[in-house]
Amino acid sequence: MRKVLILSFILVLMGSCSLDNDGPVFRDDILPIESVDIPDSFTIGEVYPITVRYFKPTTCYFFNRFYYAKENNIRTVAVINYQYLQNNCEELEDELVEATFDFHVTSNGSYIFKFWQGKDTNGEDQYLTIEVPVTD
């Protein structure tokens, strides 16, 4: 009976897949962060909203998620948008967009946040680096 259920599930999944290209095609695009609202200090055990601002280049960009990497007390953050690959996208000027994530403070010391701001002329990643101490 269990094998029949598993086989049925697999067949339903395969039948629901479509190779049609009628829908919009998109890709992920990482956009540079312009500015950040972050507290001056944290208290252990608390949760804080952190808001970033970035420019939306065209009407075909939509917030998808944050890239968020942890290494000890260093946090690297970037904004990932969906970029719909369509011909009817309109260029935007100065379209500043906000996105917020909640940060849970779990350790003492300081946190160092590295917010991705793009690449320099040599192709090196550039970051807005902010150190936030954890107080009692």
**Cα torsion at 18, 19, 25, 28 (round to 10°)?**
80
Task: Report the distance separating Cα 97 and Cα 82, nearest Å.
Answer: 14
Counted domains in the chain: 1
Cβ atoms 36, 115 nearer than 8 A: yes
Q: Is residue 28 part of a domain?
A: yes
Q: Is residue 10 part of a domain?
A: no
The model's confidence at residue 88, banded by pLDDT at 50, 70 and 90, is confident
CA distances from 85 to 1, 17, 24, 47, 81 (A): 45, 21, 7, 37, 12
Q: Is residue 9 part of a domain?
A: no
pLDDT in tens, 1-45: 554 445 444 544 454 444 455 655 888 999 999 999 999 999 999
Q: Is residue 2 part of a domain?
A: no
Give the domain range for residue 86: 22-135
Query: What is the model's pTM?
Result: 0.79
Token pair of 124, please? 């090196």
CATH code of 112's domain: 2.60.40
Q: Is residue 5 part of a domain?
A: no
pLDDT in tens, 34-82: 999 999 999 999 999 999 999 999 999 999 999 999 999 999 999 999 9
